[in-house]
Amino acid sequence: MIAHSTASQSQQAIQRARQAVRCLPFRLAFYQELEQGALSSSQLAARTDWHRISRRRLRANHTEDHLIWLIQLGVLRREVDGQGLTERVRLTPLGREVLSQWDGEIARASIPRRLLHWLVQHWPRI
């Protein structure tokens, strides 16, 4: 019974993460870059090729909010160095599993789904 419950929770986590990935502005290229190496929100916001990795221009504070949300969902993790946690993030094994469903670009969620996702993401802070 416990194994079934754990598998069910794991599937729920994957579904929740897949929905979040579809609702956020990041393109598949963003996640592919994080699979290769760690990046910070300030590095992402400073890029001139933002249109390659995002559907809209990235600002450091909004990007950091999205990164924190993806960390909470288990898609990303903070990189660790000799000093401890850094501001840079990497893709997790769960993140790789979530993204494996897309061969091409990530399918964008509908507007009502994105609105619902935004409410879920920001509800404690509203």
Give the CATH number of the domain where residue 30 resides. 1.10.10.10
Contact 66, 24 (CB under 8 A): yes
| Alpha carbon distance 40, 105 (integer Å) | 22
Residue span of the structural domain in which 30 resides: 2-125
In angstroms, the CA 33 to CA 17 distance is: 18
Task: Tell which wins on pLDDT, 78 or 124.
Answer: 78
pLDDT, tens digit, 9 for 90 and up, residues 6-48 = 666 688 989 999 999 999 999 999 999 999 999 999 999 999 9
Question: What are the pLDDT digits (tens) for 102-121?
Answer: 888 999 999 999 999 888 88
Q: How far is CA 60 from CA 42, 67, 88, 90, in A?
A: 5, 10, 12, 17
Q: How many domains does the chain have?
A: 1
Computed over every residue of the chain, the mean pLDDT equals 89
For residue 1, pLDDT over 70 is answered with no
